[in-house]
């Protein structure tokens, strides 16, 4: 009978055996360890999955979680109504402007116009516009605006608006 000596543990082993019975060393061609590797990977994956599942679950000895708070339902917000404006009054040079309008002269200093919605509002949104911005300049978005005649062109129109109410006043632009 033939014997081999295991290079790993130095045990005398029959030549008919493919591996050492003492240490498991494979003689000759290397043993296919792939099934063992795959099995080990599956075992590790199963263990890791079970560990992760266990970490996500409730602890066994924890106190019960409190009941969720019940939120009080609030009624829907009431929209703020748009104010109602019946009329707009415009003043310049200390007098109320009317349908006759006013005259402005090219080269004069800018002057102030004031608007007052009726009924009075605490924070009205006033819009100022002119029929021809080449001829005159109006700047303002509050109760007052600055007005300047740029070139003589005869009649133009100034429109003041507030929440749907409008007042249009003729403006005559002349040279001095």
Identify the band that residue 20 occupies on the pLDDT scale cut at 50, 70 and 90. confident
| pLDDT for position 167 | 92
**Three-state SS sequence of the chain:** CCEEECCCCCCEEECCCCECCCCCCECCCCCCCHHHHHHHHHHHHHHHHHHHHHHHCCCCCCCCCCCCCCCCCCCCCCCCCCCCCCEEEEEECCEECCCCCEEEECCCCCEEEEEEEECCCCCCCEEEEECCCCCEEEECCCCEEEEEECCCCEEEEEEEEECCEEEEEEEEEECC
Record the pTM: 0.52
Identify the band that residue 108 occupies on the pLDDT scale cut at 50, 70 and 90. confident
Give the pLDDT confidence of 110-161 residue by residue, as tens digits: 888 888 898 888 878 888 888 876 655 666 667 888 878 888 888 888 888 8
Does position 41 have pLDDT exceeding 80, yes or no?
no
Over residues 47-68, mean pLDDT: 62
Give the pLDDT confidence of 60-82 residue by residue, as tens digits: 566 666 777 767 777 777 887 88
Does position 52 have pLDDT exceeding 60, yes or no?
no
Of residues 53 and 67, which shows the higher confidence score?
Answer: 67
Backbone angles phi, psi at 142, to 5 degrees: -125, -160
Over residues 24-32, mean pLDDT: 66
| pLDDT for position 170 | 92
State the Cα angle at 58 between 55 and 61, rounded to 5°.
110
Cα–Cα dist 113/102, whole Å:
11
Cα distances from 26 to residues 13, 15, 76, in angstroms, run 11, 12, 80
What is the domain class of 87-174 according to CATH? mainly beta
| pLDDT for position 168 | 92
| pLDDT for position 84 | 87
Instruction: Of 6-15, 16-25, 36-45, 55-64, give the lowest mean pLDDT range.
Output: 55-64
The count of C-alpha atoms lying within 13 angstroms of the C-alpha of 35, restricted to the half-sphere facing its C-beta, is 2
Cα–Cα dist 84/79, whole Å:
15
Cα–Cα dist 141/74, whole Å:
37
Cα–Cα dist 168/164, whole Å:
13
Boundaries of CATH 2.60.40.1080 in the chain?
87-174
Scan for tokens 């003589």, then name that residue. 152
């Amino acid at each position: 009978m033939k014997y081999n000596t295991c290079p790993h543990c130095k045990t005398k082993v029959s030549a008919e055996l493919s591996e050492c019975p003492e240490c498991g060393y494979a003689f000759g061609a290397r043993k296919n360890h792939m099934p063992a590797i795959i099995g080990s990977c599956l075992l590790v994956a199963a263990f890791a999955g079970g560990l992760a599942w266990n970490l996500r679950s409730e602890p066994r000895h924890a106190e019960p979680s409190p009941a969720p708070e019940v939120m009080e339902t609030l009624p829907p917000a009431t929209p703020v109504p748009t104010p109602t404006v019946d009329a707009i009054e415009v003043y310049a040079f200390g007098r109320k402007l009317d349908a006759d309008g006013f005259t402005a002269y090219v080269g004069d200093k800018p002057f102030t116009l004031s608007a007052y919605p009726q009924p009075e509002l605490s924070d009205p949104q006033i819009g100022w516009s002119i029929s021809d911005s080449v001829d005159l300049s109006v700047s303002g978005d509050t109760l007052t605006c600055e007005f300047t005649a740029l070139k003589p062109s005869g009649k133009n129109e100034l429109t003041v608006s507030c929440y749907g109410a409008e007042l249009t006043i003729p403006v005559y632009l002349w040279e001095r």
